[in-house]
């Protein structure tokens, strides 16, 4: 009896699964706020260099004065004198500004005057956030495979709280960048560790529905609410307090979320795995006999002996590169993550300078997340993981290219509504790619290195996201350049996804050996939606199924042999008793 079979008896889509999906939803809300905190606290409204004659003017009048052709940069040009609409430009550096606060919200950049020549200071903090995310993802990924998913999840979220809350008290670039680095340590482990836990405890056929709807509904909710929470708070420090304090509630997960039983099995802690499964069964109200748990224990022991027994060292991230097929799949996952994260970050953060309030633009683009999740639920279990990953990258590339070309042809007269629609469409394509890619990578990486493997995949994505501001910067020379570059990356990612094996309705690999044979013999354009029902039998003959079946047959053989031995032994005892009874009868 393997893990999926014993989990089905304990309940694989019951009360416990509904509870962890709800807790995963809460994680999605706080993660959405945490990840885009830097964007919200750095919003820069329309601003002009301060002059005493501008104080009593309306913002419209100030804007008209700065339309003077002698003023090349209205936001950063200091004026010597103002007579009507005639102005004299000063050579001095601007030291004070007049801000047209959007919805009355005072951001960190406006309070500390990190604009114009000082605008780089906020960008340095953003860079340190990404550096922290690379370090944290690697560290907590390794830690999750050492001490468990739940403790690593709690520690990473606590880092996010510490970084965001301490940012409130920063006033210099040095302390600000340090706080953003600490905050970055939590991204993206504060999300994907809970994602792994839910994936491993839920029925395979319900993973797409449960995971993607939780992400779509709650992550979308968090993104839509985030800018308006800032507007309600009115000040960036109050906003940070409101978004960071709820993170502390994740510490309570230690008491309600069970450690990954599959991970415990890979650590040879079968007793610990059975202990967690019993708790799940009790919570779900399912009755599982001790004999069934013993059968699962016997399966785990036989599988371990076939793989080298207790003397075999635990698998590490490097083991994913030792065999050819695992190495190829891992490198493809790395490249796919780099493409998706880079494009997702570039599209999501590009909400300013479009003629619409960044608060409104942020919320509108966030609305694309829920429809993308619904589309995933409807199509992913029909098309398959490979088809959805490749297709969504292709669609994302088309949307991104279309948005860029439209912007290129509207260099001077921007149509705000058109730009908003195209940006939302681009966000829709990227969101589909991001969500489908997360599930695909988690299912494809073997359980024994899932924490480290998924961490490494996310690190590759965050490393690539460093290029996002530079790609966008190329637009100052040629408006269509960012779109062309991102489009080419999307199309390249779409192609390499076709080289990965399908995971839909397949028993997922738990060891490196199983990961090497998983999907062996599968062709590039093998999609579940294109197969006939007559081909279902062929699917059962995949290399991993043969590998699993071999272990099951050995397990069954030992049970049969053990049963035949006991039966023979009992028959000999009964024969001796009958013989002794005949002797007694003769006497």
Q: Which of 156, 149, 196 is nearest to 444 (CA)?
A: 196
Q: Are residues 167 and 267 in the same domain?
A: yes
d(CA 475, CA 404): 10
Task: Say if residue 84's pLDDT is above 80.
Answer: no
Between residues 476 and 223, the one the model is more confident about: 223
The three-state secondary structure class of 480 is coil
CATH of the domain at 361: 1.20.1250.20
pLDDT of residue 257: 96
Query: Highest mean pLDDT range out of 100-104, 344-348, 403-407?
Result: 100-104
pTM: 0.75
Contact 192, 180 (CB under 8 A): no
Q: Summarize the confidence of residues 335-354 as an average pLDDT.
A: 77
Task: Say if residue 540's pLDDT is above 50.
Answer: no
Between residues 442 and 259, the one the model is more confident about: 259
d(CA 485, CA 389): 19
Q: Are residues 488 and 543 in the same domain?
A: no
d(CA 528, CA 170): 54
Q: Token pair of 153, please? A: 């999840």
Domain C-terminal end among 312, 331, 360: 312
Between residues 583 and 2, the one the model is more confident about: 2
Q: Are residues 367 and 268 in the same domain?
A: no
DSSP lists the bridge partners of residue 48 as: 98
Kindly indicate the confidence band of residue 13, based on its pLDDT and cuts at 50, 70 and 90. very high
Kindly indicate the confidence band of residue 565, based on its pLDDT and cuts at 50, 70 and 90. very low
Q: Summarize the confidence of residues 100-129 as an average pLDDT.
A: 87
Kindly indicate the confidence band of residue 65, based on its pLDDT and cuts at 50, 70 and 90. confident
d(CA 421, CA 427): 10
Task: Say if residue 544's pLDDT is above 80.
Answer: no
pLDDT of residue 279: 95
Task: Say if residue 572's pLDDT is above 70.
Answer: no
Contact 218, 29 (CB under 8 A): yes
What are the DSSP calls for 251-304, one per residue?
A: GGHHHHSPP-HHHHHHTT-HHHHHHHHHHHHHHHT----HHHHHHHHHHHHHHH
pLDDT of residue 310: 53
d(CA 200, CA 261): 8
User: Rounded to whole angstroms, what are the CA distances from 87 to 81, 238, 241, 415?
Assistant: 6, 39, 43, 30
Q: Are residues 329 and 396 in the same domain?
A: yes
Q: Are residues 373 and 498 in the same domain?
A: yes
Between residues 579 and 40, the one the model is more confident about: 40
pLDDT of residue 322: 87
pLDDT of residue 293: 94
Q: Are residues 87 and 15 in the same domain?
A: no
Task: Say if residue 254's pLDDT is above 80.
Answer: yes
pLDDT of residue 346: 77
pLDDT of residue 153: 95
Q: Are residues 305 and 192 in the same domain?
A: yes
- Total count of domains within the chain: 4
The string of pLDDT tens digits covering residues 417-431 is 776 777 777 778 788
| pLDDT above 90 as % of the chain | 29
Q: Which residue has the tokens 């890619």?
A: 437
**Domain ranges, residue 94:** 47-100
The alpha-helical segments, DSSP class H, found in 104-186 are 108-111, 120-147, 149-167, 173-184
pLDDT of residue 201: 94
Mean pLDDT of the chain: 82
Q: Are residues 23 and 169 in the same domain?
A: yes
In this structure, is the dihedral angle defined by the CA atoms of residues 370, 154, 260 and 8, taken in order, positive or negative? negative
Contact 457, 317 (CB under 8 A): no
Contact 257, 279 (CB under 8 A): no
Task: Say if residue 79's pLDDT is above 50.
Answer: yes
Q: Summarize the confidence of residues 558-570 as an average pLDDT.
A: 48
Q: If you ran DSSP here, which 8-state letter would residue 106 be given?
A: B
Between residues 132 and 470, the one the model is more confident about: 132
Domain C-terminal end among 294, 312, 330: 312
Provide Rg for the chain, Cα atoms.
Answer: 29
pLDDT of residue 205: 83
Least confident of 212-216, 441-445, 571-575: 571-575
Query: Highest mean pLDDT range out of 13-27, 181-195, 307-321?
Result: 13-27
Task: Say if residue 272's pLDDT is above 90.
Answer: yes
Q: Summarize the confidence of residues 443-470 as an average pLDDT.
A: 82
Q: Are residues 429 and 440 in the same domain?
A: yes
Kindly indicate the confidence band of residue 538, based on its pLDDT and cuts at 50, 70 and 90. very low
d(CA 543, CA 226): 47
The three-state secondary structure class of 79 is strand
Between residues 415 and 444, the one the model is more confident about: 444
Q: Please give the backbone phi and psi of residue 82, each rounded to the nearest 5 degrees, phi first.
A: -130, 120
Q: Are residues 142 and 285 in the same domain?
A: yes
The string of pLDDT tens digits covering residues 483-529 is 778 888 888 989 998 999 988 878 888 888 888 888 888 888 887 77
Q: Are residues 171 and 41 in the same domain?
A: yes
Q: Summarize the confidence of residues 340-361 as an average pLDDT.
A: 74
The string of pLDDT tens digits covering residues 42-62 is 888 888 888 888 888 888 888
The length of the chain is 587
Q: Summarize the confidence of residues 299-312 as an average pLDDT.
A: 72
Kindly indicate the confidence band of residue 28, based on its pLDDT and cuts at 50, 70 and 90. very high
Kindly indicate the confidence band of residue 447, based on its pLDDT and cuts at 50, 70 and 90. confident
Domain C-terminal end among 254, 285, 312: 312
Q: Are residues 356 and 461 in the same domain?
A: yes
pLDDT of residue 25: 95
pLDDT of residue 547: 58
The string of pLDDT tens digits covering residues 177-194 is 999 999 999 988 888 899
Between residues 115 and 535, the one the model is more confident about: 115
Least confident of 269-278, 292-301, 433-442: 433-442
The string of pLDDT tens digits covering residues 351-395 is 555 557 788 888 888 888 888 888 888 888 888 888 888 888 888
Q: Which of 180, 164, 73, 78 is nearest to 121 (CA)?
A: 180
């Amino acid at each position: 009896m393997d893990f999926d079979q014993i989990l089905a008896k304990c309940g694989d889509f019951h009360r416990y699964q509904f509870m962890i999906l709800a807790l995963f939803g809460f994680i999605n809300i706080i993660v959405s706020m945490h990840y885009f905190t830097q964007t919200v606290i750095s919003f820069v409204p329309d601003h002009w260099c301060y002059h005493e004659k501008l104080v009593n003017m309306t913002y419209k009048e100030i804007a008209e004065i700065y339309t003077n052709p002698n003023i090349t940069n209205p936001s950063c040009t200091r004026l010597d004198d103002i007579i009507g609409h005639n102005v004299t430009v000063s050579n001095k550096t601007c030291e004070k500004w007049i801000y047209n606060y959007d919805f009355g919200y005072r951001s960190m950049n406006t309070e500390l005057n990190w604009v114009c020549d000082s605008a780089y200071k906020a960008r340095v903090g953003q860079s340190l956030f990404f550096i922290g995310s690379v370090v944290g993802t690697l560290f907590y990924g390794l830690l999750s495979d050492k001490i468990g998913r739940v403790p690593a999840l709690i520690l990473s979220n606590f880092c996010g709280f510490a970084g965001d809350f301490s940012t409130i008290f920063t006033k210099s670039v040095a302390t600000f960048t340090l706080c953003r680095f600490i905050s970055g340590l939590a991204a993206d482990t504060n999300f994907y560790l809970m994602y792994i836990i839910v994936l491993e405890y839920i029925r395979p056929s319900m993973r797409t529905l449960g995971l993607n709807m939780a992400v779509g509904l709650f992550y979308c909710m968090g993104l839509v609410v985030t800018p308006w929470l800032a507007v309600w708070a009115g000040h960036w420090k109050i906003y940070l307090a409101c978004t960071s304090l709820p993170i502390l509630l994740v510490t309570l997960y230690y008491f309600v979320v069970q450690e990954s039983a599959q991970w415990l099995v890979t650590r040879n802690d079968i007793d610990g795995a059975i202990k967690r499964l019993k708790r799940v069964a009790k919570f779900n109200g399912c009755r599982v006999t001790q004999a069934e748990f013993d059968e699962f224990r016997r399966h785990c022991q036989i599988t371990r002996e076939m793989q080298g027994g207790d003397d075999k060292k635990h698998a590490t991230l490097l083991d994913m590169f030792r065999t050819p097929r695992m190495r190829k799949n891992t490198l493809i996952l790395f490249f796919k993550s780099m493409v998706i994260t880079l494009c997702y970050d570039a599209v999501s953060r590009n909400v300013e300078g479009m003629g619409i309030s960044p608060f409104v633009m942020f919320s509108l683009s966030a609305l694309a997340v829920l429809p993308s999740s619904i589309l995933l639920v409807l199509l992913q279990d029909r098309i398959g993981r490979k088809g959805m990953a490749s297709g969504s990258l292709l669609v994302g590339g088309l949307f991104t290219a279309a948005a860029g070309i439209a912007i290129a042809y509207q260099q001077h007269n921007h149509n705000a509504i058109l730009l908003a629609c195209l940006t939302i469409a681009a966000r829709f394509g990227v969101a589909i790619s991001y969500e489908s890619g997360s599930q695909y990578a988690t299912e494809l990486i073997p359980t024994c290195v899932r924490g480290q493997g998924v961490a490494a995949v996310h690190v590759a994505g965050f490393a690539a996201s460093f290029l996002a501001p530079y790609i966008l910067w190329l637009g100052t020379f040629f408006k269509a350049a960012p779109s062309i570059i991102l489009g080419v990356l999307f199309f390249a990612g779409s192609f390499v996804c076709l080289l990965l094996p399908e995971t839909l309705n397949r028993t997922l690999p738990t060891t490196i050996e199983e990961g090497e044979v998983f999907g062996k013999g599968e062709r590039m354009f093998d999609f579940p939606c294109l197969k006939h029902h007559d081909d279902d039998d062929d699917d059962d003959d995949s290399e991993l199924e043969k590998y699993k079946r071999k272990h099951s047959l050995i397990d069954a053989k030992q049970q049969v042999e053990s049963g035949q031995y006991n039966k023979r032994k009992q028959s000999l005892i009964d024969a001796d008793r009958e013989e002794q009874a005949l002797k007694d009868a003769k006497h």
